[in-house]
Structure 1
Amino acid sequence: MATWAIGDIQGCFDEFTALLRAIDFRPDRDRLWLVGDLVNRGPKSLETLRFVHSLGDGAITLLGNHDLHLLAVAAGHGRLRRGDTLDEVLGAPDREPLLDWLRGRPLFHYDPALDMAMVHAALAPGWDLATAKTRAAEVQTALTSDADGYFAHMYGDTPHRWDNALRGWRRLRVITDYLTRVRFCRPDGTYDMRAKGPPGTQPEGYLPWFALPDRASAGTPIVFGHWSSIGLVDGHDVYALDTGCVWGRQLSALCLEEGRWVSVDCSARGSGAGD
Structure 2
Amino acid sequence: MTASSTPTWTLSGFGDEIHEDPRIQIAVLQALGAQHIEVRSAWGINIVELDDARLEELRALLAEQEMGVSAIASPLGKVDITSDFDAELARLDRAINAAKVLNSRYIRIFSFYYGEGVDVDSIREPVIERLTRFAEIAQAAGIVLLHENEKDIYGDTPARVLDLITSVNSPALRVAWDNANYVQVGAVPFDDGFEDLRPYLEYLQVKDALASDHSVVAAGEGDGQLRETLGALASDGFAGFASLEPHLSDAFATGGFSGAAAFGRAARAFRGLTDELGVTLK
TM-score by length of 2: 0.40
TM-score by length of 1: 0.40
Higher strand share: 2
Higher helix share: 2
